[in-house]
Amino acid sequence: MTQPASTDQTGGTRLRVLSYNIHSQKDDRAALASVVRGLAPDVVIVQEAPRRFRWRPKCAALAESFGMVVAEGGLPSLGNLLLTSLRVRVRETWCLQYPLTPGRHMRGAVFAECSIGAARFVVAGSHLSTDPTERPGQATLFKKALAEVSLPLVVGADLNENSGGAAWRTIADGCTDAAVAADLGDRYTYSCANPRDRIDALFVDPRIEVAKYDVVDTPEARRASDHFPVLVDLVLPAAAG
């Protein structure tokens, strides 16, 4: 798949974003790299990235396999990772860790303020708990952090629940659900073996136009992870920020 044009007819800046739970790279790594390289994203929001022993070189190796560079994430954001192409300038980054519920995995979020030319925006990613009792609280903390951002916002997340759930509603409030904007809310993202749920979401600030949305279902994607990647082409406002 080719890279979208850098600007559209209105003067807005085009941005291609991929949100992808890579299943801790437990599946076909060559297929994983091929899927991402073929889609040519500007930004990849990764869930289940390296977060333990030697996480820094592992994150760097993952980025290199995609033809990208690390912006932020890994251990500080508990497995959430932001990767960018050289087209994107990363200005500032920060991470969030949710409080640990005893007996559960720690979860977190990652943020990066970026720019392409004069267009500035913030990308954020998170992976919420599988536990329905702690997931709404994590969503509330994530939403509070998102609300502090004034720039146009792009949010990719594995919410571990379908649309309509409490956590999903919290994150979606005031945002555009890219799938719904494209009238493709019926496209499932999980699991690749038995697609039955849309638990991977990509939300954008209302100031951002959703030009295209796709759940990438190919034989290669089915080998690469247990989640399908979510791809969007966006148009950033001409005077973003």
pLDDT digits (tens, 9 = 90+) for 30-67: 999 999 999 999 999 999 999 999 999 999 999 999 99
pLDDT at position 12 is: 83
Question: Is the pLDDT at 205 greater than 80, yes or no?
Answer: yes
pLDDT at position 83 is: 98
Range of the domain at 202: 13-234
Residue 7 placed within a domain: no
pLDDT in tens, 177-199: 999 999 999 999 999 999 999 99
Residue 5 placed within a domain: no
List of residues 6+ apart from 84 with CB closer than 8 A: 42, 43, 44, 68, 69, 71, 90, 112, 114
pLDDT in tens, 37-47: 999 999 999 99
- Region 215-219: mean pLDDT is 98
pLDDT at position 240 is: 43
The domain tally of the chain equals 1
Which position has the token pair 């659900």?
177
Contact 120, 150 (CB under 8 A): no
Whole-number Å distance between alpha carbons of 131 and 101: 10
Residue 113: which of 151, 145, 142 has the closest Cα? 151
Contact 213, 179 (CB under 8 A): yes
Residue 241 placed within a domain: no
Residue 21: which of 135, 128, 98, 127 has the closest Cα? 127
Residue 34 placed within a domain: yes
Residue 8 placed within a domain: no
**Local structure of 116: helix, strand or coil:** strand
Residue 25 placed within a domain: yes
CATH number at residue 28: 3.60.10.10
Residue 4 placed within a domain: no
pLDDT at position 10 is: 59
